[in-house]
Structure 1
Amino acid sequence: MPRFFSPVLVFTGGALGTWARVAIFQFGETAGLITVNAVGTLILATLSGLLFHAHAPWATPVKLFLGAGVCGALTTQSTLALMTVQAGLGGLTLTVVSLVTGACAAVSGWLIGSALRPSPRSSC
């Protein structure tokens, strides 16, 4: 893959991730925040589990587009931090729910990706 193509993949994926985040936030800020972070984590963990040790020529473009681009733009740590501070004591609940949801999404995604990953071919 030509080196100049990498930023195009990240930019294009980022545009899609940003559009998805804005669309999801239309359903409410708190629910939207938890949803985008959980979905982004699930996608990234699934991708990581699936492409763990992948050396196929298509693996890097997929990681750049979906991982860095889509998931990078979809998820938002800064909004979580801001909403946590603005919510006062309710921010503690938001933080705990976000962390637990994110951890569950990460474990689930890794397990899904690992299950979908092709087995290495035996050299018999």
Structure 2
Amino acid sequence: MNWLFVALGAAIGAPLRFLTDLAVQKRHDTVFPWGTFTVNVVGCLVLGLVTGAATAGAAPSSVQLFVGTGLCGALTTYSTFSYETLRLAEDGAKFYAAANAVVSVIAGLGAAFMGVALAEALWA
């Protein structure tokens, strides 16, 4: 039954990632991959929130599997982040490549910590 929670979450997360990336990139006329950045940071925030809720006993394993593993696993994308960073560097946009790498990691970790802190405030 656990695989079903993961599959259902992924079935929502993957199209949500695609549509979010499309919508965000359409609003920004720049080579910086704002769509991937957005889904990755939002995914880190949600995963932090679920992790904090699970630690506090407020999220059962089915929620962790559905939201954490399935939805966030399909919503976020390390491979696309890596590809886009490499593509920026190869195309001569080295500043954007470096900024994407550094800012994505800092923002992702910050969002995860904020999610955990929010969960602790809500359920501790």
* Shorter-chain TM-score range: 0.7 to 0.9
Give the residue type in structure 2 aligned to 1:10. V
Give the residue type in structure 1 aligned to 2:85. T
Matched-pair contact (CA < 8 Å) for 2:56–2:120? no
User: In structure 1, which of residues 42, 50, 59 is the aligned counterpart of residue 45 of structure 2?
Assistant: 42
| Deviations 1:60-101 (CA, angstroms, capped at 9, x unpaired) | 100000000000000000001111111011211111110111
- 1:97 partnered with 2:98: no
Match of 2:61 in 1: 60
Q: Secondary structure at the match of 2:33?
A: helix
- What pairs up with 1:3-22 in 2 under 5 angstroms? 5-22=1-18
User: In structure 1, which of residues 51, 54, 59 is the aligned counterpart of residue 54 of structure 2?
Assistant: 51
CA distance in 2, matches of 1:111, 1:98: 20
Give runs of ≥4 in structure 1 deviating > 4 Å.
Answer: none
Matched-pair contact (CA < 8 Å) for 2:49–2:118? yes
Structure 1 alignment gaps of length 5 or more: 120-124
Shift of 1:53: 5.2
**TM-score, L = length of structure 2:** 0.85
Give the residue type in structure 2 aligned to 1:32. G
Shift of 1:114: 1.0
**TM-score, L = length of structure 1:** 0.85
Match of 1:76 in 2: 77
Give the residue type in structure 2 aligned to 1:83. E
Larger radius of gyration: 1
Higher mean alpha-carbon deviation, 25-34 vs 72-81, is at 25-34
Count, aligned residues = 112
Structure 2 alignment gaps of length 5 or more: 26-31
